[in-house]
Amino acid sequence: MAKVYFLGTGSAYPSSTRDNTSLLFSFENRNILVDVSGNPARKLKELKKSLREIDTILFTHTHIDHIYGLPSLLWGMWLENRTEPLTIYVDERFKVHLSKWFETIELSDWGIQFAIHVQTFQGDSIATIIDSDELKVRTFPAKHSVPTVGLEILYNDKRIVYSADSEINSHINEYNYIDFLIHEATFAKKRSAFHSSMEEVLTSYNLQKVNSIIFVHLTDHEPYEEVCQTFLQESKVGNDIQIAYELMKVEI
């Protein structure tokens, strides 16, 4: 059985109860950390997940709230004497940024005992980055203020789609079914360039094709519950709708 752990659920400006958004997709033989924010080592330990279990990191984009936890995570892996290799997937357009960051933190001088394999993908088109019998992971372009990708994850015929930070994405409506749609909702109602509101998500997609919706990238003092309740009362679509919280776990 697969699990999704919500290490952080907040928008770019975190609150006292929400860290910046970061997700861990945990499968039988693979643990994929999507974006790295906050204090990832502490969060993983709270979830009783060893740092050694994280074999893959994937960055959706390079805004600071999605990447700033990487040095801390690598430092923790080094302190725990990790020897298992680590793969980092990054958009080809940002490979040089990652290399410069490694230089800035002087990673090569730490004496780490594990290999870091940087793999790139073409973020401006649909790209398959993991392809096995049980697990397939694809990226697709998303509209944000910097190049950004969303994710499609297929695991034993279950489809998970993650929007990342983005406006409403027409690509999401192209799927014939989605078991779990994890979508940003920086606002409850307000329309804004490069982001989505909960109201837009609930009215822009064909929700008859979506089983469960989980909202992340949330902002303080937004009337999410009000919008959600109004939609459920007025809609004839019986979706499971969840507002994610810190360290929430969902079984797939």
- Taking only the tens place, the pLDDT of each residue in 74-125 is 999 999 999 999 999 999 999 999 999 999 999 999 999 999 999 999 999 9
CATH number of 3-251: 3.60.15.10
Give the predicted TM-score (pTM) of the model. Answer: 0.96
Residue 16 has a pLDDT of 84
pLDDT-based confidence at residue 1 (cuts at 50, 70, 90): confident
- Alpha-carbon distances, residue 33 vs 6, 64, 117, 221, 249 (angstroms): 10, 16, 15, 28, 14
32: three-class secondary structure by DSSP: strand
If DSSP codes are grouped into helix, strand and coil, which group holds residue 239? coil
pLDDT digits (tens, 9 = 90+) for 181-229: 999 999 999 999 999 999 999 999 999 999 999 999 999 999 999 999 9
Tens of pLDDT, residue by residue over 132-165, are 999 999 999 999 999 999 999 999 999 999 999 9
User: How many percent of the chain have pLDDT more than 90?
Assistant: 92
Structural domain boundaries in the chain:
3-251
The whole-number pLDDT of residue 236 equals 65
Token pair listed for 244: 């994610």
Which of the four pLDDT bands, split at 50, 70 and 90, describes residue 60? very high
Residue type, 187: F
